[in-house]
Amino acid sequence: MKNIILVGMMSSGKTTLGKKLARILGYRFVDLDKLVEQDQNMDIPSLFSQKGETYFREVESRILKEISIRRNMVLASGGGTPCFFDNMNLINQMGISIFLDVPAADLARRIENHGKDDRPILSGAASLVETLDQKIKERLPFYSQALITLKGDIDTSHLMQELKPLL
């Protein structure tokens, strides 16, 4: 059985969909951001502010490599994970990659509804939608390397039909 790796912007639904898929498949759900926080014994905003993005990306990539040998896992990657080092190639080697393609306006609404300012790459953004739209454009060349792209609302039963022949 192959792993499933979810990629996409922050608030695109990687964790929500990942937990559902793991439950349906009987897989283990893994959140890469949580593994980084456990490894570093601090939350991601603190890690960004104290050690910087370069350090964070190095830790994130190291942990991705460490878990790449696991099987029967649904992995929610960090939003920027595919865009650094050779992470997207590794993700594609690990299993079935799925890009959750959500428009910037929808992401902004989800982030605003979340009510916490815990997204380091958004701090100080004048316009949340414009900042997210720019990030999507920067990351799209990496995200588009995923085996499957899902746009809009995700129907889990339809996705499962698409995944079964690939597992």
Average pLDDT of the residues of the chain? 91
Cβ–Cβ under 8 Å, residues 79 and 132 = no
Res 123: pLDDT: 62
Q: What is the pLDDT of residues 77-103, one digit of tens each?
A: 999 999 999 999 999 999 999 999 999
Task: Give the distance, in angstroms, between the CA of residue 161 and the centroid of all CA atoms in the same chain.
Answer: 22
* Cα–Cα distance for residue pair 88/97, rounded to 1 Å: 9
Res 158: pLDDT: 81
Q: Residues in the chain, how many? A: 167
Those residues with Cβ within 8 angstroms of residue 110's Cβ, 6 or more apart along the chain or in another chain: 11
- For the chain, what are the domain ranges? 3-161
What's the CATH code, domain 3-161? 3.40.50.300
Res 26: pLDDT: 96
Query: Which of the pair, 48 or 7, is modelled with greater confidence?
Result: 7
Query: Which of the pair, 153 or 161, is modelled with greater confidence?
Result: 161
Which of 1-15, 65-79, 88-102, 123-137 bottoms out in mean pLDDT, i.e. has the lowest?
123-137
Query: Which of the pair, 123 or 71, is modelled with greater confidence?
Result: 71
Mean of pLDDT values over 39-43: 97
